[in-house]
A = this chain, B = another copy of it.
Amino acid sequence: MKNILIQPMSQKAFAPFGDLIDFNRDPDFAINNGMCDRYHALAQSDTLGDDAKTIISLGLGRPYHLPLTLKMMERHPLGSQAFIPLEEKPFLVVVAQDNNGKPTEPVALMAEAGQGVNYHRNIWHAVLTPLETQAKFLIVDRLGGGNNLEEHFFEEPYLVTE
């Protein structure tokens, strides 16, 4: 099996794949008479289709453990997808660009406690991967017609390690 070494999550590392949603930046402006700092438009929902809507869902994910055998990645051709942890726990993000309908070499990034991600449309990613204990997530993605899920199974799985 080929190895993938997990890298730290950062705005820069994740930028080619989507938007990092976290408080590690200066607020953009204050609202409510100065009572709330707003970190504005960290991510934008991108949904294709005249009937498409952006929806808010919740996910309760069962845990995975490292080292992780990565057999499959998926992508959503019609919409972005955001996962924001509702508990202060790290989770594993594995992403890849597309090359003629297949993921390129995957990149593994460890999202720190409090960091959420918004996968851009068509970015290959692993399934939601909380580690060690089950975890709650907010999900922002698309409701609408059409096939919005593609899966790719690797001929040779990857081993994702710390």
Contact = CB atoms under 8 A, between A and B. Distances in A.
A56 interface: yes
Interface in A37-52: 37-45, 47
Interface in A118-151: 118, 127-128, 136, 138-140, 143
Nearest to A118: B56
B58 A42 contact: yes
Given A36-B127, A114-B86, A58 B143 contact: no
B36 A56 contact: no
The A interface, classified by DSSP as helix, strand, loop or mixed, is strand
Interface in A1-41: 19, 21-23, 27, 31-33, 35-41
The 9 A-B residue pairs with the shortest CB-CB distance in the complex, in nearest-first order = A39-B58, A45-B54, A32-B127, A54-B54, A43-B56, A41-B55, A36-B61, A37-B60, A35-B62
